[in-house]
Amino acid sequence: MGNDNKPLNHLAIIMDGNGRWAKKRHLPRFMGHRQGMDNIRKIALEANRLGIKVLTLYAFSTENWARPSDEVNYLMRLPIDFFDKFMPELQENNVRVNIMGFSDNLPEKTYEVTQKAIKQTASNTGMVLNFAFNYGSRAEIVNAVQKIAKKVQDGEINASQIDEQMVSDNLLTENLKPYTDPDLLIRTSGEERLSNFMLWQLAYSEFEFTDKFWPDFTVDDLDKMIADYQKRERRFGKV
């Protein structure tokens, strides 16, 4: 979307503040996550309508396992509920699902449901809805370094051949090519930090923050942030 100077192909969102949204209403934290899950629908449909190619959502980090087990279990159920509820609409809108993260230690049911969603939508040609689920950027980079080191060890490449493209090609965003790097990152709930999210890929991205908690973040808020982003000048280090 946008003009040639200001493409918005890849939008990434750190959906923060579910717990505080619930607390403010004297509700249990899981109700905030439930409301947050429902909010994904509206925002994803709007992003799709705007012609965005990839929408990446930070849904569960490698650090989130340290939360109380009740909450972890609830978060692991959300993909099951989400695809159960919204798969028909994703299909109608030609949305393709992708999961970015370390899927090997997910509970079996969660793993199965995510794989099924990927398969069911594999031939869709619209927006990629990319869930960062059990994702952590440092682990992702370590994983890439190990894969590249193995190639050097096996004599497939020389260390001097390692370049930015090769590192990028070994990250978990490789299958989002050519839209591996977000143009714009949004974080809700007033926190202004990256929390181990897409450290490599966000090198030249624009950032937008709002005090609103994720369940309160509206299509109108999204449209305003995008309009603001379109006014900015991205120079990628050049003058």
Spatial separation of the C-alpha atoms in residues 55 and 215, rounded to whole Å:
17
Pick 79 or 182: Cβ nearer ligand FPP: 79
Show contacts with ligand FPP in window 183-222 (CB under 6 A): 189, 214
Task: Tell me whether residue 48 is one of the annotated catalytic residues.
Answer: no
Query: Cα–Cα distances in Å, from 180 out to 31, 74, 113?
Result: 32, 30, 24
Spatial separation of the C-alpha atoms in residues 86 and 76, rounded to whole Å:
17
Active site residue: 9, 38, 64, 93, which one?
64
User: Using an 8 Å Cβ cutoff, are 232 and 206 in contact?
Assistant: yes
- The site for ligand FPP, by CB under 6 A, has a size of 20
Question: One symbol per residue from 66 to 95: x for binding ligand FPP (CB under 6 A), - otherwise; what is it?
Answer: ---------x--xx--x-------------
Query: Cα–Cα distances in Å, from 183 out to 1, 12, 128, 208?
Result: 12, 8, 15, 11
Question: One symbol per residue from 141 to 180: x for binding ligand FPP (CB under 6 A), - otherwise; what is it?
Answer: ----------------------------------------
Question: One symbol per residue from 30 to 49: x for binding ligand FPP (CB under 6 A), - otherwise; what is it?
Answer: ---x--xx--x---------
User: Using an 8 Å Cβ cutoff, are 208 and 229 in contact?
Assistant: yes
Alpha helices in the chain (DSSP H): 18-24, 29-49, 69-92, 108-120, 137-153, 164-169, 219-231
The helix/strand/coil state of 191 is coil
Closest approach of Cβ 215 to ligand FPP, in Å? 8
Spatial separation of the C-alpha atoms in residues 173 and 151, rounded to whole Å:
20
Q: Which residue among 6, 20, 212, 234 contacts ligand FPP (CB under 6 A)?
A: 20
Task: Tell me whether residue 4 is one of the annotated catalytic residues.
Answer: no
Closest approach of Cβ 36 to ligand FPP, in Å? 3
Under the rule (CB under 6 A), what is the footprint of ligand FPP? 15-20, 33, 36-37, 40, 59, 64, 75, 78-79, 82, 131, 133, 189, 214
Please identify every residue annotated as catalytic. 16, 64
